């Protein structure tokens, strides 16, 4: 499951560039296998040059000892070939392939104006492998070894496994490697199992997806609209998202949370966030509630029912539903996050995840599950078709989600898929039903690169795909050259578009657009910068990302709004609002939410407003967007202050994407 709403948009802004400024520069030569330790000034750029042959695979890392860095690779022509910015501490891995021989530059800059120590090493430089399995070994190098968390890959073609391999460790403390017997926490990939269970029970006449959920859980409140089981599992119910709501309280999201607490969250909700069926808003609450529905209609707890009716019939004998982060699961992989000095820290799992997540399984068992999705033995083909059919919203538009599965197209090939992101476990399952193929990846490292799943599909399924890029890092400059060949943009026009725009679907999430000479770029709230390429006077693509921006031009070539095109069309409106110190002081005070029994304090910190909670290590900076409205970071991305008829502030409403408008009343 995804913990942070902002992660949905973080996928868009996966490349990083730093704004031009005066830097302290240092340049030196580096060789393969050489480790260089140095200190990076706050305004520093360190450049390491290396001579490379064409068609070489290069891998290395920067150990971020006390400074968060950005690594940029430049080819012999001086063009940017790749850019990397992952974890803020520990190892920042980089890898790229060479197209031409010559001198390559590896630039290291601070992510922000900070200074500290780091070391850098180019660990591998070798010819690019042509065999898919060997090429995959190159791509998985950072998960290889007896001192790093690991990964697992499964490829199915023509309905049968053709490749399965493991890298790295399932448990660092005890030196246990990833293997066939390792159980992986598949996070939200579990959702398809729950919807499959619901369809089995519907087939038996024990429930209906189109019945009011209160028929099964009558203690849920009546909000004046019928909320069906179907609404709950296609993310259109209007209920609060319980994980985001728990995060808003300041509690650790790994805290164990029973179903009675989740029901209580819905009971305390004052109203629906949207009319059921009107809006897709990814939500784990419905899936947690469905485990209780299954228990009540069958008389059997969800984990036992799944074992008896799904896992055992499919001979998935190593698969379990973990209902608590304290439950012992033999042979399970331990989740890890990056730590200092290239080491790792153990992470727990989410609490209350069963149904929305919680399934632990092996790659062998997942192969059996995929086989059943392609050629059902348990259940029917009609059930799989229903799971993989996009849901039609009330207004007649379609989401890209069915029942527990996203439904999309990959390089001309229809497929359905779902990923999982528990606190430090990552999962992806892609199924291509038209060719009886699938790709599955699992990892117990929080920073695992999920884009590798697409690359693996390119490697092993290339004969089926319309356009297959060789599995190299995205050549952003080639894309840019292609765009410029079709359209020549007058860069000065961008000055009329530059500014801050707020996404309507996610208040407080701001896209800032800027120009620096011939460079135009954007930056989202709490995200790094990414370059833009002009496709027309109003439309711009994002470097290395399957997304683009369309500004809504006025007659004078300015814009008051734009549309972000990625997994749908998302409107953002231009904002221009500032506050002086006296105006900011008006918002200070203590604010309490009866709904979640949580207190926040708004205080002045130098010349900035911040939101403070005693259980949170860092203050949340409040950035004004419009009158009485501020953007911030997770777990509260947007704050909208409320006034009475006399103009006095009486409270604020807090949102974080999946959970919206939680009221905090002013105490003083």
Same domain, 325 and 363: yes
CATH code for the domain in which residue 504 is found: 2.40.128.50
Helices (H) and strands (E) in the chain — how many of each?
Answer: 13, 38
Q: What is the per-residue pLDDT for 625?
A: 72
Last residue of a domain, one of 512, 544, 575: 575
Q: What is the per-residue pLDDT for 150?
A: 98
Lowest mean pLDDT of 102-106, 108-112, 128-132, 426-430, name the range: 108-112
Lowest mean pLDDT of 105-114, 208-217, 222-231, 650-659, name the range: 105-114
Residue 325 maps to a domain: yes
Is the dihedral angle over the CA atoms 228, 229, 232, 236 positive or is it negative? negative
Residue 394 maps to a domain: yes
Residue 351 maps to a domain: yes
Residues 557 and 498: their CA atoms lie apart, in Å, by 12
Same domain, 597 and 523: no
Last residue of a domain, one of 575, 604, 630: 575
Residues 647 and 609: their CA atoms lie apart, in Å, by 20
CATH code for the domain in which residue 285 is found: 3.40.710.10
Same domain, 512 and 549: yes
Sheet with 320-321, strands from edge to edge, namely: 184-185, 359-361, 320-321
Q: What is the per-residue pLDDT for 515?
A: 79
Q: What is the per-residue pLDDT for 547?
A: 82
Same domain, 296 and 399: yes
Range of the domain at 661: 581-666
pTM score, two decimals? Answer: 0.81
Over residues 442-458, the pLDDT tens digits come to 999 999 988 899 999 99
Residue whose pair of structure tokens reads 């060997």 in the numeric block: 134
Cα end-to-end distance, the chain, whole Å: 38
Report residue 146 as tokens. Answer: 């007896």
- Asked if 564 contacts 549 with a C-beta cutoff of 8 angstroms, the reply is yes
Exposure pattern of 549-560 as b/e (b: 16+ CB <10 Å)?
Answer: bbbebeeeeebe
Among candidates 568, 533, 444, 590, which has minimal Cα distance to 143? 444
Residue 70 maps to a domain: no
Same domain, 568 and 606: no
Residues 620 and 637: their CA atoms lie apart, in Å, by 9
Element (H, E) at 60: strand 56-64
Q: How many CB atoms lie within 10 A of CB 146?
A: 11
Over residues 466-509, the pLDDT tens digits come to 854 433 333 333 333 333 334 567 776 787 788 889 888 788 88
Over residues 244-255, the pLDDT tens digits come to 999 999 988 888
Same domain, 585 and 571: no
Among candidates 481, 428, 475, 434, which has minimal Cα distance to 450? 428
Same domain, 205 and 303: yes
Query: 585 phi and psi, to 5 degrees?
Result: -60, -25
Q: What is the per-residue pLDDT for 219?
A: 98
Among candidates 411, 402, 497, 396, which has minimal Cα distance to 455? 411
Over residues 620-653, the pLDDT tens digits come to 999 887 789 888 888 998 899 999 999 999 999 9
Residue 150 maps to a domain: no
Q: Say whether pLDDT at 22 is over 50.
A: no
Among candidates 420, 474, 464, 401, which has minimal Cα distance to 438? 464
Q: How many CB atoms lie within 10 A of CB 631?
A: 25
Mean of pLDDT values over 392-412: 95
- State how many domains the chain has: 3
Residue 357: burial class (beta carbons within 10 Å; 0-12, 13-18, 19+): buried
Same domain, 644 and 658: yes
Which residues lie below 8 Å from residue 280, measured CB to CB, with a gap of 6+?
Answer: 234, 235, 236, 391, 393, 399, 401
Mean of pLDDT values over 546-568: 82
Same domain, 297 and 355: yes
Q: Say whether pLDDT at 173 is over 60.
A: yes
Q: What is the per-residue pLDDT for 568?
A: 66
Last residue of a domain, one of 530, 556, 575: 575
Q: Say whether pLDDT at 5 is over 50.
A: no
Mean of pLDDT values over 582-606: 96
Residue 563 maps to a domain: yes
Which residues lie below 8 Å from residue 34, measured CB to CB, with a gap of 6+?
Answer: 121, 122
Mean pLDDT, the chain, rounded, equals 89
For the chain, give the percent of residues with pLDDT over 70: 92
Residue 123 maps to a domain: no
Same domain, 355 and 388: yes
Same domain, 560 and 619: no
Same domain, 265 and 383: yes
Report residue 519 as tokens. Answer: 């460079």
Residues 77 and 104: their CA atoms lie apart, in Å, by 9
Residue 168 maps to a domain: no
Crossing angle of helices 452-460/132-139, nearest 10°?
170
């Amino acid at each position: 499951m995804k913990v942070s709403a902002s992660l949905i948009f973080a996928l868009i802004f996966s490349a990083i560039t730093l704004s031009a400024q005066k830097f302290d520069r240092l340049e030196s030569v580096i060789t393969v296998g050489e480790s260089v330790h140095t200190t990076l000034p706050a305004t520093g750029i360190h450049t390491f040059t290396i001579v490379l042959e064409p068609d070489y695979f290069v891998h290395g890392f920067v150990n971020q000892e006390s400074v968060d860095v950005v690594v940029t690779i430049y080819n012999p022509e001086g063009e940017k070939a790749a850019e990397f910015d992952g974890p803020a501490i520990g190892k920042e891995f980089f890898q790229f392939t060479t197209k031409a021989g010559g001198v390559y530059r590896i630039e290291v800059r601070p992510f922000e104006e900070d200074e500290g120590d780091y070391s850098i090493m180019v660990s591998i430089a070798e010819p690019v492998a042509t065999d898919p399995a060997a090429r995959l070994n190159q791509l998985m190098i950072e998960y290889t070894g007896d001192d790093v968390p690991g990964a697992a890959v499964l490829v199915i073609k023509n309905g049968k496994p053709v490749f399965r391999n493991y890298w790295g460790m399932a448990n660092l403390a005890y030196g246990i490697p990833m293997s066939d017997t390792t159980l992986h926490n598949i996070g939200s990939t579990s959702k398809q199992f729950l919807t499959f269970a619901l369809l089995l029970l519907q087939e038996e006449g024990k429930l209906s997806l189109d019945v009011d959920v209160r028929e099964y859980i009558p203690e849920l409140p009546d909000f004046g609209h019928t909320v069906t089981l179907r609404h709950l599992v296609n993310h259109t119910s209007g209920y609060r998202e319980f994980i985001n709501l728990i995060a808003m309280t300041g509690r650790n999201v790994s805290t164990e949370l029973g179903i009675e607490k989740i029901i209580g969250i819905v009971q305390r909700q004052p109203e629906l966030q949207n009319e059921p069926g009107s809006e897709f808003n990814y939500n784990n609450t419905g899936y947690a509630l469905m485990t209780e529905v299954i228990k009540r209609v069958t008389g059997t707890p969800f984990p036992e029912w799944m074992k008896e009716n799904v896992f055992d019939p499919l001979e998935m004998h190593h698969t379990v539903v973990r209902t608590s982060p304290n439950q012992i699961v033999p042979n399970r992989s331990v989740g890890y996050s990056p730590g200092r000095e290239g080491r790792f820290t153990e992470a727990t799992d989410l609490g209350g995840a069963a149904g929305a997540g919680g399934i632990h399984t092996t790659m062998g068992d997942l192969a059996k599950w995929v086989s059943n999705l392609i050629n059902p033995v348990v259940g029917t083909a009609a059930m799989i078709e229903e799971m993989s059919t996009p849901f039609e919203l009330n207004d007649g538009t379609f989401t890209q989600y069915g029942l527990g599965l996203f439904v999309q197209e990959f390089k001309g090939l229809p497929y359905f898929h779902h990923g999982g992101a528990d606190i430090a476990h990552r999962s992806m399952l892609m199924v291509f039903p038209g060719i009886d193929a699938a790709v599955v990846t699992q990892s117990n490292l929080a920073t695992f690169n999920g884009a590798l799943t697409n690359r693996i599909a390119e490697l092993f399924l290339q004969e089926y795909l319309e356009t297959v890029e060789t599995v190299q890092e995205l050549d952003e400059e080639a894309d840019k050259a292609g765009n410029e060949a079709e359209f020549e943009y007058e860069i000065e026009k961008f000055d009329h578009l530059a500014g801050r725009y707020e996404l309507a679907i996610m208040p407080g999430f701001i896209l800032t657009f800027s120009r620096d000479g011939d460079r135009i770029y954007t930056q989202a709230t709490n995200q790094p910068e990414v370059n833009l390429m002009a496709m027309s006077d109003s439309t711009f693509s994002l470097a290395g990302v399957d997304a683009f921006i369309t500004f809504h031009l006025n007659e004078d070539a300015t814009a008051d709004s734009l549309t972000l095109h990625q997994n749908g069309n998302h409107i953002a409106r231009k904002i221009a609002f500032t506050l002086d110190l006296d105006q900011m002081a008006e918002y200070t005070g203590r604010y309490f939410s009866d709904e979640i029994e949580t207190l926040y304090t708004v205080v002045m910190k130098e010349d900035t407003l911040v939101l403070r909670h005693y259980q949170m290590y860092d203050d949340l900076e409040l950035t004004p967007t419009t009158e009485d409205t501020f953007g911030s970071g997770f777990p509260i991305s947007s704050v909208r202050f409320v006034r009475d008829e006399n103009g006095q502030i009486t409270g604020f409403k807090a949102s974080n994407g999946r959970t919206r408008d939680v009221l905090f009343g002013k105490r003083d």
